[in-house]
Amino acid sequence: MSTSLDPRAVKEAQRATWDALSGGWADAREVFERGAAAVSGRLLDLGGVRPGQSVLDVGTGLGEPALSAARRVGRTGRVVATDISPRMLRIARRRAAALGPAAADVEFTEADVEAQGFGCCGSPGGAPPPSARPRRTSSSPRRTWRHRGSRPARSTWC
């Protein structure tokens, strides 16, 4: 007996699941982020994030660590935050607006990280999808970022 997964169905299920969970994540956000603040700070340190830099947050969820990165890069930097869930991104945009000028320029974009050629990457809250290809996880992002002079830093919560 053989079982096969339809990758599009898996993606739609992931999107629907994260959309459905967005309200619960929003309710628990403050407690979760207080506990994860050290991880976010260390992630930004490892990435060498400083004023004027550009940052890509893949799987941003409710906007962290993108919002912390925005405070570090300042108005001369750029932060792009992606997620597969439109509802998570709506919450992240509202959070950025509430923070005022420090986070006003964060670009939130709905995107499927695998479709963008990054393999499987994660940020706090993002677990590898069932369709992930581990060999791409360890090589593709590093090669993509390094040739542009960037420093990759990844964190995955499972």
Structure tokens at 133: 């290809």
pLDDT average, residue stretch 134-143: 42
- Whole-number Å distance between alpha carbons of 21 and 123: 16
Tell me the domains of the chain and their CATH numbers: 8-146 (3.40.50.150)
Percent of the chain with pLDDT over 70: 74
Neighbour order of strands in the sheet with 107-110: 54-58, 78-83, 107-110
Identify the pLDDT of residue 44: 92
Q: Can you give the pTM of this predicted structure? A: 0.74
Render the burial of 126-146: b for 16+ CB within 10 Å, e for the rest. Answer: beebeebeeeebeebbeebbe
Q: List phi, psi (to 5°) of 80.
A: -115, 125
User: For residue 56, what are the contacts with CB-CB under 8 A and spacing of at least 6?
Assistant: 80, 81, 82
Q: Are 141 and 154 in contact (CB under 8 A)?
A: yes
- Whole-number Å distance between alpha carbons of 12 and 117: 18
User: pLDDT tens across 39-88, in order?
Assistant: 889 999 998 999 998 898 988 999 999 999 999 999 999 999 999 999 99
pLDDT average, residue stretch 136-151: 48
